C-alpha cells in the first residue's frame, strides 16, 4: 500500500465517522466534510495557487509542502464525491502505458 492509499484510507475513515456522528470534533478532515464540497473546492483552489507561488518563488522546501497540501485536499474532494483513490490511480496507470506515444501535433506553414 502506498502512502497515498494509506492517507486516503484515513480520510475515508474520517468521512465514515463524520457520517455516523462519531467524528472527532478536532479533525480538520471532518471539518471539511461538514462544510461540504464548496469549502473543499475552495481549499483545493487555494492550495493549487500556493503550489504555483512556491514554484514561481523557486522554493523547493515550500513547494514540496504545498504539493502535499494540494494532494491531501484533492483526496478529501475525491472521498467527498464518492470517488475512490484506486480509480484515480487506475487512470494514471492507463496514462502511464501511453508514455512514449506522444500525439503528433499538426504544424502550420505560415510562409506559404
- Contact between 81 and 59 (Cβ < 8 Å): no
Identify the pLDDT of residue 25: 75
pLDDT higher than threshold 90 for residue 111: no
Q: Which residue has the cell 461538514?
A: 34
0.95 exceeded by pTM: no
Fold classification of 3-89 is Helix Hairpins (1.10.287)
Question: pLDDT (tens digit, 9 = 90+) per residue, 40-83?
Answer: 999 999 999 999 999 999 999 999 999 999 999 999 999 999 99
Q: Average of pLDDT values for 25-32?
A: 92
Please report how the helices 37-56 and 28-35 are oriented relative to each other, as an axis angle in degrees rounded to 10. 120
Amino acid at each position: 500500500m502506498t502512502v497515498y492509499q494509506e492517507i486516503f484510507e484515513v480520510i475515508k475513515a474520517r468521512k465514515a465517522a463524520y457520517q455516523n456522528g462519531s467524528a472527532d470534533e478536532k479533525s480538520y478532515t471532518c471539518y471539511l466534510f461538514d462544510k461540504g464540497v464548496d469549502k473543499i473546492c475552495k481549499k483545493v483552489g487555494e492550495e493549487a495557487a500556493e503550489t504555483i507561488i512556491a514554484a514561481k518563488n523557486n522554493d523547493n522546501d515550500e513547494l514540496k509542502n504545498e504539493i502535499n497540501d494540494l494532494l491531501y485536499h484533492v483526496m478529501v474532494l475525491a472521498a467527498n464525491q464518492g470517488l475512490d483513490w484506486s480509480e484515480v490511480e487506475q487512470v494514471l496507470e492507463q496514462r502511464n502505458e501511453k508514455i512514449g506515444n506522444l500525439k503528433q501535433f499538426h504544424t502550420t506553414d505560415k510562409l506559404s
